[in-house]
Amino acid sequence: MEKMQVFLTPDEMAEVAGGRWVNDDKPRLITGVRVNPERVLPGDIVFTTTPAQWGKGILDSTQPKILKKMQEKGAAAIVSTGPKAYELTGLPTLVVENPKVALEKIAVCSRDRFQGKTVLVTGTEGKTGFKLLLAHVLKPQCACHASKDSANLTVPVWCSMAGVNRETQVHICEVSVAQPKVGFTRSRYLRPNISVITEVGYSHVETHGGLDALIYDKASVSDGLVDGGCCVVNASCPQFDKVRECIFKRHYVPVYGFGEHPRSQSRVIEAQFVNQSWVCKADVRGKEVQYTIHAMGDHMPNAVAGVLLTVDLLGYDVFKAAKEVASFEPSETMGRLEQLTLHGHPFTFYDHSHRASPLNFRSALRDVSRIQVTGKRIAVLGSMLNLGDLSDASHKDLMTDIEKAHFDVIYTLGDPIKVIRPLLKKLPGVTLKSHAKDWKELIEPVSNEIGDGDLLFMKGNHRVWLKYLSAELREQAQREQEANDAR
């Protein structure tokens, strides 16, 4: 499919940002907006960063080697404070006083000219999966714009706003509300038609100053809703009534629920787990639909019901959308079940290494209990973070589901999870192996632990970096496969 020019033309970008194109050399086509040089895609316009303008600890991407990397990745243009990027790379360069301010102005202008509908998605967990599934099921019916990664802070929100093109009918943007007041700010930037809250849990509760304050801050994503806008909230969440009450206090708008709760406007009627998939039936505002989602999590039937409710509220065909659910492939942040071979041993890998909160950790552990294997059940349990005073209790609350998962071997990673090691030792049939402070310490023992027919389960907060252990094991398996193919 041919990529489209983002909403503003090069000339319009220069006018809005108060800048000029070096030597009047402008890109023919800009198809995306980027700040992170590691994520540059062909056709992107890349805004350079410096600590002085973007904040302490921010990468100085005006370094020659980084500018050349942007060129190698296929960037269409660069935004910077001077002509150096043009001189080094030959790429069209928009010179502005402050690239961060320029990006904000371009994002806001793009939003103001955009005539389609915007969906904001937030929640303690499930944001990325909801966003990607919504974009997937809508694709046959309309032109959607949604970033494929899980970047969800203010700058990525600006990039998403500025990346909308003139053919876009629905803009879907994921937003983090990990700190007070940011939900309000990011909602006001987006001005959504629908604000979705997928879940409210205890992650970042200390940052907000308690659960009630966290709920109030989550509800702030309703503040930027346009006239006629509404909220879609997980009614199966224990905090649903408090969330709805807080939304009404901040901005009296319709609140639609989804899930198994009887009050849900999109209610799951039936959900059966068959062959590693969920086969479901739901009532979406009086329309009975059926869908199959090829994903493990026991929250998936409810999540799909929320996606279909959003489709219906946007005015698109919910029956057509329901048929598209079966062709959706879960992203890496949603957990992946796959078959690999390492050291000649075929095994099942359930990789949940990218995220960990109390709710999704317990859900993933329940998934493990449903997976049938002939060998050992091996777990690498990483710590959960950002839980404040609730950290010890939240880790201990995992024990019931850990026991039901019937692991044979358990490794642990990160300081917070050490609190349950004495409890793990008492589990019948469990061999408690080493505790690691760094993921690299687990490469050799975990790799050597795997045998024929085993299951390897891995989960932890993204800041304990289990995703790198996951990647290392995959690379080992890939190298082994390539060596076998070469023989």
d(CA 192, CA 161): 11
Q: What is the CATH number of domain 114-330?
A: 3.40.1190.10
First to last CA, the chain: 38
Across the range 128-139, mean pLDDT stands at 96
Domain range summary for the chain, segments of one domain joined by +: 10-101, 114-330, 335-486
Task: Provide the pLDDT for residue 193.
Answer: 98
CATH superfamily of 335-486: Mur ligase, C-terminal domain (3.90.190.20)
Per cent of the chain over pLDDT 70 is: 98
Distance CA(104)–CA(155), nearest Å, equals 8
Say how many C-beta atoms besides its own lie within 10 A of residue 366's C-beta: 16
Q: pLDDT per residue over 161-214, tens digit each?
A: 999 999 999 999 999 887 878 888 999 999 999 999 998 866 666 676 777 888
Q: What is the pLDDT of residues 442-471, one digit of tens each?
A: 999 999 999 999 999 999 998 999 999 999
Over residues 64-70, the mean pLDDT reads 96
* Averaged pLDDT score across all residues of the chain: 93
Partners of residue 266 on adjacent β-strands = 258, 284
What band does 354 get if pLDDT is binned at 50, 70 and 90?
A: confident
Architecture of domain 10-101: 3-Layer(aba) Sandwich (3.40)
Model pTM score: 0.86
How far, in Å, CA of 213 to CA of 218, rounded?
A: 9
Over the stretch 142-163, which tens digit does the pLDDT of each residue have? 999 999 887 888 999 999 999 9
Q: How far is CA 46 from CA 69, 175, 390, in A?
A: 11, 21, 40
pLDDT band at 405 (very low <50, low <70, confident <90, very high): very high
**pLDDT higher than threshold 90 for residue 81:** yes
Helices (H), 61-196: 64-72, 84-89, 99-113, 127-138, 154-162, 182-190
Task: Specify the pLDDT at position 486.
Answer: 84
Residue with tokens 């999704």: 360
- In this predicted structure, the answer to whether residue 1 has a pLDDT above a threshold of 60 is no
